[in-house]
Structure 1
Amino acid sequence: MSETARQHGPQTHAPVLAATNITRRFGGLVAINNVSFEVRPGEILGLIGPNGAGKTTMFDLLAGSILPTSGEIRLNGALVSGEAAHLRIGRGLGRTFQIPRPLPNLTLIENVMLAAQGQSGERLLANFLTPWRVAAEEKVAAKKAADLLELVSLTRLAHEPARVLSGGQRKLLELARVMMADPAIILLDEPAAGVNATLLEVIIDRVRDINRSGITFLLIEHNIDMVTRLCHRVLVMASGELLCEGTADEVARDPRVIEAYLGGAA
């Protein structure tokens, strides 16, 4: 485990997010089989495994995009197994995607502002009955969005349409968008995929900065160097099951992990 990970590891064992005996079936296919783990406050937990291991399905289950066939998911102690994704966002769970899809014709700051929660302007009547409140909230949201774009080093592009961004810049924009909703935990889906080395360093630094501010991460990533540098603990999945967990160094030496990656696990 890296020096940064040791210095900024979690300070408590009470879970922010907990999966208990999670199973998900698609017809006769068991995509996730009886998986249990916890994400502790303040940590960056890595989730790795070969292609087809079930990592993205697990993210979909945690985020509420799909529901488990059996088992429980708890977010800050609340049972959310049957809740839709938008309700989990309201409880403090944010998620990014491997391929970000910002609204291309909106500016970066507009894209970020769209993620603001609980805005009066979302209700039609409020725009007519309390326009001053709507305007005040929008001003606060614009300031917060600008601060987040500065955090992810995109200030100079704040008023440019999102379509001008590179793949790495889109991932930084998505990180700002998810931060706009004030998450307690962020599910970060392959932030290194398709990103050049320079922007990858920026992403790593920003994840560290955000983690130091108290936000927890669960990270899917194939870039083992990034996992080693960032993650306090690592979970390894293969064939829909949890294979092992430990530090990056520990799981890299585990014979089961070597077999899963080199032995053709699906």
Structure 2
Amino acid sequence: MSTTTERHGEEARPVLTARNVVRRFGGLMAVNDVSFDVRQGEILGLIGPNGAGKTTMFDLLAGSVAPSSGEIILNGVAVAGEGAYRRIGRGLGRTFQIPRPFPNLTLLDNVMLAAQGQAGERLLSNFLRPWKVAEQERVAHAKAMELLDLVHLTRLAHEPARVLSGGQRKLLELARVMMADPALILLDEPAAGVNATLLETIIDRIRDINQRGVTFLLIEHNIDMVTRLCHRVLVMASGQLLCEGTPEEVARDPRVIEAYLGGAA
């Protein structure tokens, strides 16, 4: 595995920045003055014990929750006041710990639905510019099939999504998020509920997509996966950023050991 300084050193520009981000829920401080950068081209891990604030941090970055204070900067643009839909348009994609595909639609249709800026979404275009709608449909179909091939689901392309296992649903969700051409993907526990064989496929697909220039920030409890995939790791505990470094550095940090074994939540 390449080290941070070799491939993703300080000179790599940040594609996403959290600056002094705070989120309160009533009297609960879920995220407390957290700052970090996600650097272009890296795979950055976010770990911590249960209740550390990781999922809330993801919600803040994705735009589904607004910060109580602080800044979130995506490709140089302050986006703390924007919702999730606007951030998708700026190149930020997100997966979820429990994927929820449309169960009665085929895998192909599930992926095609994630295509952005389709003329067919506007009713009048179907009457006034049917040729453009048809052409975009052909392009989206071809792209969706390529992405299903990327995640090794081509043979199931015309099957309903309800037939998929948990691990296959994670792969389908990865194909769906790639359909929107993201520059950065937030991955929420890609290893959760996945058998060992499919986990290897998911790891390989993440590496392949990263080699295409896509940046990743992932929450994960599977430390072996984090160690194998991530160039840097952030550790949260009690809503705060505890430390950051390479997987090896983080694993040796006594604060991390205390957070996991000493009961921090």
TM-score, normalization by structure 2: 0.98
Percent same amino acid at aligned positions? 79
Deviations 1:198-227 (A, max 9, x none): 000000000000000000000100000000
* Residues 1:14 and 2:29 are matched in the alignment: no
Match of 1:41 in 2: 40
Give 3-state SS (helix, strand or coil) of 2:218's partner. strand
Match of 1:67 in 2: 66
The offset of 1:5, in angstroms, is: 5.9
Cα distance change, pair 7–150 in 1 and its aligned pair in 2 (3 A): farther
Deviations 1:5-29 (A, max 9, x none): 6698337421000000000001111
Count of matched residue positions in the alignment of Structure 1 and Structure 2: 264
Match of 1:23 in 2: 22
Match of 1:179 in 2: 178
* Mapped contact 2:44–2:234 kept (Cα < 8 A): yes
* Mapped contact 2:125–2:133 kept (Cα < 8 A): yes
* Separation in structure 2 between the aligned mates of residue 16 and residue 169 of structure 1, nearest angstrom: 29
Letter in 1 for 2:69: S
The gaps in structure 2 that reach 5 residues or longer are none
Cα distance change, pair 259–7 in 1 and its aligned pair in 2 (3 A): closer
Letter in 1 for 2:106: T
Give the root-mean-square deviation of aligned CA atoms.
1.2
* Separation in structure 1 between the aligned mates of residue 134 and residue 7 of structure 2, nearest angstrom: 40
* Separation in structure 1 between the aligned mates of residue 181 and residue 148 of structure 2, nearest angstrom: 15
* Separation in structure 2 between the aligned mates of residue 172 and residue 230 of structure 1, nearest angstrom: 17
Match of 1:90 in 2: 89
* Mapped contact 1:18–1:39 kept (Cα < 8 A): yes
Letter in 2 for 1:259: E
Letter in 2 for 1:9: R
* Separation in structure 2 between the aligned mates of residue 155 and residue 7 of structure 1, nearest angstrom: 37
* Separation in structure 2 between the aligned mates of residue 4 and residue 136 of structure 1, nearest angstrom: 42
* Separation in structure 2 between the aligned mates of residue 7 and residue 156 of structure 1, nearest angstrom: 40
Give 3-state SS (helix, strand or coil) of 1:237's partner. strand
* Separation in structure 2 between the aligned mates of residue 8 and residue 44 of structure 1, nearest angstrom: 13
Letter in 1 for 2:7: G
Match of 1:254 in 2: 253
Give 3-state SS (helix, strand or coil) of 2:7's partner. coil
TM-score, normalization by structure 1: 0.97
Match of 2:220 in 1: 221
4+ aligned runs moved over 4 Å, structure 1: 4-8
Match of 2:113 in 1: 114
Letter in 1 for 2:247: A
Match of 2:161 in 1: 162
Mean CA deviation greater in 78-87 or 12-21: 12-21
The gaps in structure 1 that reach 5 residues or longer are none
Deviations 1:213-253 (A, max 9, x none): 00000010000000000000000000000000001110111
Letter in 1 for 2:111: V
Deviations 1:169-199 (A, max 9, x none): 0000000000000000000000000000000
Letter in 1 for 2:91: G
* Mapped contact 1:5–1:231 kept (Cα < 8 A): no
Mean CA deviation greater in 206-215 or 3-12: 3-12
